[in-house]
Amino acid sequence: MEKETLTVALLSEGDTLTATLSGEIDHHSAATARETLDRALFKHRPRVLCLDLGGVSFMDSSGLGLVLGRAALCEELGAAVRLLRPSLRVRKIFAVAGLDRIENITLQV
C-alpha cells in the first residue's frame, strides 16, 4: 500500500464544511484530495468551504488547480471558499496566480 503524502480530514458543522489538509500537495496527491473534497461538497452542500492549509508542507501549482477547481465548483453550488492558515510558501504560490483577486475566495492568515 502506497503511503499517502496528503491527508484530508473533514468536519461539517452547520452550513460550514471544513477540510484540513496535511502533507504535500502535488499533481499526484491532489487527485485523491479532489475526489474527497468534491464528494463531501455534494453530500453536505455547505454555504462555506474552509480549506485549512496550516499543515501543508509543500505545494506547487497543482495546489492552485485544486483550490481553483473547488472554488469553481463552490461557485456553482453557491458556496464561498475560505483558505485558512496558508504558510508563507503557500501564499507565495497563490501570489503567482493572483489568487487574492478571485471573488469567492478569501484568505485568512
In the complex, the residues that contact other proteins under the rule CB under 8 A are: 2, 5, 24, 26-31, 34, 58-62, 64-66, 68-69, 72, 89, 93, 96-97
Cβ 76 to other proteins shortest distance, Å: 12
Q: How far apart are CA 87 and CA 92, in angstroms?
A: 9
Cβ 12 to other proteins shortest distance, Å: 24
Of the pair 66, 79, the CB lying nearest other proteins is at 66
**Element (DSSP H or E) covering residue 39:** helix 27-44
Contacts 24+ apart (CB under 8 A), 28-31: 29/4, 29/5, 29/62, 30/6, 30/62, 30/63, 30/65, 30/66
Of the pair 55, 69, the CB lying nearest other proteins is at 69
Cβ 89 to other proteins shortest distance, Å: 6
